[in-house]
Chains A and B, each alone.
Chain A
Amino acid sequence: QSALTQPASVSGSPGQSVTISCTGSSSDVGDYNYVSWYAHHPDKAPKLIISDVTTRPSGVSARFSGSKSGNTATLTISGLQAADEADYYCSSYRTNNTWVFGGGTKLTVL
């Protein structure tokens, strides 16, 4: 079960926008609109920030948005803040009630 592919790291200055890609296959990202994104700050529980490709849960800032094209999903964070610095993971549903995660992307706010 290969993991989804994410860049190891991205960075941006406060106020800028960054994007994080998540590439899968026709068995997961490409076949289902069930991509979710999580922010994981050190020593804290991961936090759901996007579900079903584009849906923001209640309480999540509108600065976070998601999209998908083909086998690649994208998380965009606009108006970067220092508090956004964290590891970000994508996840997709895969057939037969299994899920797959990406390898994670470390976001650095310069």
Chain B
Amino acid sequence: GAVVSQHPSRVICKSGTSVKIECRSLDFQATTMFWYRQFPKQSLMLMATSNEGSKATYEQGVEKDKFLINHASLTLSTLTVTSAHPEDSSFYICSASQLTGNQPQHFGDGTRLSIL
């Protein structure tokens, strides 16, 4: 149980394109989902916390107009990288917890984004 599905797994696109990444909790409901970014040979850095039915909470230094987050249902959050540029190329990973409080986070398999 507690499976998180992330799609697509890899995207290659031209500079200026907007890219949408989906994160789904397959067998549980998640009021909160999280979006992380990982650059090569570095750790995961939290970008934003996605809250169902309300605005996302962004970490310091993350542009909310650049990285649009929508969490319209208890099983789906989306991250849209708008007008992507080569510096946005990275590995993006989402996670979700079954409940707020002391529960483990379950991670998707990540999306490797390459902007040419």
Are A and B interaction partners?
no
Chain A residues within CB distance 8 Å of chain B:
none
Chain B residues within CB distance 8 Å of chain A:
none
